[in-house]
Amino acid sequence: AQSVTQLGSHVSVSEGALVLLRCNYSSSVPPYLFWYVQYPNQGLQLLLKYTSAATLVKGINGFEAEFKKSETSFHLTKPSAHMSDAAEYFCAVSPSGSARQLTFGSGTQLTVLP
């Protein structure tokens, strides 16, 4: 079975500071990994995905994530936080080459302080 663990249910950063949201995965097969964002009163939106190509993946809104097999991690980063980044972020894993059956982490609520 595959799973992801998100460390920190709540993260607060100051505007302009580095954003680091942690995700570790467990998988018996090469995983496909995803980060989704949920803004208040909206659906889940794909930020980026890792599908065994480049280990550093760039997504929308200046976010990127690096797949590190040795650490079984797929942490999400952004160099400089913006107020509009405040949202809930979900890491997810899929056993196949598609997003068809995602297993989500428990989510990290990001607060950006002025």
Partner 1 sequence: EPEVTQTPSHQVTQMGQEVILRCVPISNHLYFYWYRQILGQKVEFLVSFYNNEISEKSEIFDDQFSVERPDGSNFTLKIRSTKLEDSAMYFCASSSPDAEELFFGEGSRLTVL
The contact set with partner 1 (CB under 8 A) reads 36, 41-46, 49, 51, 90, 92, 98-107
Measured CA to CA, the distance from residue 82 to residue 110 in angstroms comes to: 11
User: Shortest distance, CB of residue 26 to partner 1, whole angstroms?
Assistant: 14
Residue 10, strand partner residues:
109
User: Shortest distance, CB of residue 47 to partner 1, whole angstroms?
Assistant: 11
Do residues 107 and 89 touch, judged by C-beta distance below 8 A? yes
Instruction: Pick between residue 33 and residue 81 the one whose CB is nearest to partner 1.
Output: 33
Instruction: Pick between residue 13 and residue 91 the one whose CB is nearest to partner 1.
Output: 91
